Chains A and B, each alone.
Chain A
Amino acid sequence: MTDHFLLLALFALFVSIVFATLLRDEPREQARLGGMMFGGFLAAAFVLGWLMYPLPL
């Protein structure tokens, strides 16, 4: 598996699950925070990716 976005999403999923479980007690709140964190990770990756797009590498 070498799809970079898929690996990024998998990493974001693991980190979101652990942090949401650590920071919240109720399953519903955990799911909400986890979802927000996961979405935030993906959104940040998209935004940063597009911001770096013009850079010559």
Chain B
Amino acid sequence: MILIWMATKSTTADRAPATAEPATLVLLCLAAWAVPGAGHLWLGRRQKGIIFLLALPLMFLTGIWLQGRIFPFEVSEPLVVLGAIAHLGIGLPWFLAQAMDFGRGIVTAQTYEYGNTFMIVAGLLNFLVMLDAFDIGMGRK
């Protein structure tokens, strides 16, 4: 109900359509996934891009700071794989955290589950941001 209300209240249709080539759209989606907000910056939505660029990596970092764990791709544990896919949604910060050996997680920490939630939601939100950039690139918004 709330989502329907939000969708009908959206005021994004005033901009000029910007349909792009399929190859450009793929690159756009890759950029939007790798660097949160990059897709919007590419399309000239500077304000939105900067907000995403700041908020999403900061949310992911907060999760790491709260002792959250970057889930591995363990096929034997389907829920862990789903969590790993959600984490991967944040793009480049995920690779940087892996390279720096961050996100090992301390299960006994009071904030462990909070950290996991921050990291998972940051990744999932970046997927939404990527889809939004795709829609703008397609000229739907």
Question: Inter-chain contact count A-B, CB under 8 Å?
Answer: 53
Q: B56 near A18 (CB under 8 angstroms)?
A: yes
CA distance A54 to B40 in the complex (A): 47
Contact B55 A18 (CB under 8 A): yes
Complex interface: chain A residues within 8 A of B48 (CB) = 21-22
A38 to chain B, nearest CB (A): 13
Contacts of B121 in A (CB 8 A): 11, 14-15
Question: Chain B contact residues (Cβ within 8 angstroms of A): what range?
Answer: 20 to 34
In this assembly, does A1 line the interface, its C-beta being within 8 Å of a C-beta of chain B?
A: yes
**B10 lies within 8 A of A24 (CB):** yes
Q: In terms of DSSP, what is the predominant structure of the interface of chain A?
A: helix
Measured between beta carbons, the chain A residues less than 8 angstroms from B59 are: 14
Inter-chain contacts of B52 with A (CB < 8 A): 18, 21
Q: Which of B111, B114, B129 lies in contact with A22, CB distance below 8 A?
A: B129
Contact between B55 and A23, CB atoms less than 8 A apart: no
B125/A15 in contact, CB under 8 A: yes
**C-alpha gap A45/B6 in the complex (Å):** 21
Contact of B129 among A18, A24, A29 (CB under 8 A): A18
A27 to B66, CA, bound (A): 31
Other than A18-B128, A27-B47, give 15 A-B pairs with Cβ distance below 8 A. A7-B114, A11-B117, A11-B121, A14-B58, A15-B125, A17-B51, A17-B55, A18-B55, A18-B125, A21-B47, A21-B51, A21-B52, A22-B48, A23-B9, A25-B15
Q: A: which residues have CB within 8 A of B? A: 1-2, 7, 10-11, 14-15, 17-18, 21-27, 29
